A and B are shown apart, each in its own frame.
Chain A
Amino acid sequence: SQTIHQWPATLVQPVGSPLSLECTVEGTSNPNLYWYRQAAGRGLQLLFYSVGIGQISSEVPQNLSASRPQDRQFILSSKKLLLSDSGFYLCAFPREGNADTQYFGPGTRLTVL
């Protein structure tokens, strides 16, 4: 069965510090992977998606970057965090049986102070 893990679950970081959020998936191979950010009380904004190892597409210009070093691993990074990077970060991939829909991880709550 498909599973998706994200860590850490919560993170509090000072402005200007680096960031690394990790997403790993199981039960699938060569999936499309997606990073979303959700601001408080808002909808999801697609940040990055990847169709394979080393292949990253950025949806919005920002202070963040993404990498896919392995087939089932997707990493979201920043060299220097901004206050505006605070939010709830979600990783997702296409659900088994219906690739039109997405299966989401539990998310990482990032607070930048």
Chain B
Amino acid sequence: SQQGEEDPQALSIQEGENATMNCSYKTSINNLQWYRQNSGRGLVHLILIRSNEREKHSGRLRVTLDTSKKSSSLLITASRAADTASYFCATRPTGGGNKLTFGTGTQLKVEL
């Protein structure tokens, strides 16, 4: 079964607004990652946050991690139409080797 569950499943915003996506997971993790997928394409890694980190930034991306609540959020600031894509969280469970478990994704649409 999928460990990660993102919400919302779909999000539609106007260009310039911020987009926030959430991810919940069930087991203890080594790290949590976010990936982006444009329609019909492969996934692209965006950012990784380790279990001992609480917040991380990369450009317009901000990721938070709350291990006590087993949840993470991805914030995209000042969104652009080109940010339209599906976003997935993926967890690397503690003791899970090199395998990632992906969530079900949030479909983001940024309108002009």
Contacts and interface: CB of A to CB of B under 8 A. Distances in A.
Interface in B10-48: 30-31, 33, 40-45, 48
A100 B102 contact: no
Interface residues of A, number: 27
Interface string A87-112: 01010101100111111111101000
A55 B91 CA distance: 24
B98 interface: yes
A32 interface: yes
Contacts of A92: 42-43
Chain A contact residues: helix, strand, loop or mixed: strand
Nearest to B103: A43
Given A43-B2, A107-B40, A99 B98 contact: yes
B92 interface: yes
Contacts of B42: 90, 92, 104-107
Interface residues of B, number: 24
B43 A46 contact: no
A49 interface: yes
B5 to A, nearest CB: 9
B100 interface: yes
Interface of B: 2, 4, 30-31, 33, 40-45, 48, 88, 90, 92, 98-105, 107
Given A43-B103, A44-B90, A49-B99, 17 more contacts: A43-B2, A43-B105, A45-B102, A46-B101, A59-B99, A92-B42, A95-B45, A100-B48, A101-B45, A102-B43, A102-B100, A104-B42, A104-B43, A104-B44, A106-B42, A107-B40, A107-B42
Please give me the 8 A-B residue pairs with the lowest Cβ-Cβ distance, nearest first. A104-B42, A44-B102, A43-B104, A43-B102, A104-B43, A101-B45, A106-B42, A107-B42
